[in-house]
């Protein structure tokens, strides 16, 4: 079974420009994902999909091939699905076919090789077509409130007033990895089709960098030894 690793890394970002190549712990953000994927030993090929020449240069310095994508695939409403389908189409036109696609967002730097191997083991063991990494919400969404005309009411009245430990566990996608059966992905045109298996990760390795504050938090976790390079 051949596995393609794909790192979508556009150059533009509204809230944190060029975030995918900003330094974290002394190396570009992109390098954290490249290092983890390589250490996992699972991917037969690893590519970075980007529209940005500077990102492509950083990828080249890391020894990873860059697949240049059209500008339209770096702007909303285009998303990871369209970027991944484009990569598969381009590689197929070059004679390269893959059974499994692993997608790694570079904004999730602390997923490690063990996470990748464990998630892949689950994917194979469950005979899954779609798997996504998640982490538990730090604050339960079942305690959420809404405000209308300055009046506060609960979104989930059945849980209002309960202790957090009395509420159901809830999880969020953390962007660290998706593992997909390629034929199923191309058929569904989605990476979250059902049945969607979940690989659960701890919050420490589920940091998702989207703002300058997120980047500072990641640096603080490194400095405190909560996570390691």
pLDDT at 40: 98
pLDDT at 76: 59
Q: Reply yes or no on whether the pLDDT at 77 is more than 60.
A: no
Angle between helices 113-125 and 29-40 (to 10 degrees): 50
Q: Please, which residues bridge with residue 181 across strands?
A: 100
Q: Reply yes or no on whether the pLDDT at 80 is more than 60.
A: yes
Regarding the domain delimited by 3-137+171-223, which CATH topology (the fold level of the hierarchy) does it fall under?
Spore Coat Polysaccharide Biosynthesis Protein SpsA; Chain A (3.90.550)
**Number of neighbours of residue 116 by Cβ within 10 angstroms:** 26
Q: Reply yes or no on whether the pLDDT at 17 is more than 90.
A: no
* Between 51 and 197, residue with greater pLDDT: 197
pLDDT at 75: 66
Model confidence band, residue 229 (pLDDT cutoffs 50, 70, 90): confident
Residue 199, both tokens: 């690989």
User: pTM here?
Assistant: 0.92
Cα 94 to Cα 56, 59, 90: the distances in Å are: 20, 21, 7
Residue 130, both tokens: 């779609």
Mean pLDDT of the chain: 93
The domain ranges of the chain are 3-137+171-223
pLDDT at 96: 96
């Amino acid at each position: 079974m051949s596995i393609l690793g794909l790192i979508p890394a556009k150059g533009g970002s509204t809230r944190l420009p060029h975030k995918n190549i900003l330094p974290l712990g002394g190396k570009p953000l992109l390098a954290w994902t490249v290092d983890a994927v390589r250490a996992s030993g699972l991917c037969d090929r690893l590519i970075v999909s980007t529209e940005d020449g500077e990102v492509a240069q950083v990828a080249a310095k890391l020894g990873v091939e860059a697949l240049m994508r059209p500008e339209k695939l770096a702007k909303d409403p285009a998303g990871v699905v369209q970027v991944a389908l484009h990569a598969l189409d381009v590689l197929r036109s070059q004679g390269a076919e893959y059974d499994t696609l692993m997608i790694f967002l570079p904004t999730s730097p602390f997923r490690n090789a063990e996470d990748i191997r464990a998630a892949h083991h689950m994917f194979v063991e469950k005979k899954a077509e779609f798997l996504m990494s998640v982490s538990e919400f730090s604050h339960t969404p079942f305690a959420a409130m809404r405000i209308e005309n300055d009046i506060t009411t609960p979104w989930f009245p059945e849980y209002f007033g309960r202790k957090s430990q009395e509420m159901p566990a809830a999880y969020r996608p953390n962007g660290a990895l998706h593992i997909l059966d390629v034929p199923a992905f191309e058929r569904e045109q989605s990476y979250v089709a059902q049945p969607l298996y979940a690989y659960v990760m701890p919050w420490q390795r589920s940091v998702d960098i989207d703002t300058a504050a997120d980047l500072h938090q990641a640096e603080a976790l490194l400095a405190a030894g909560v996570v390691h390079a």
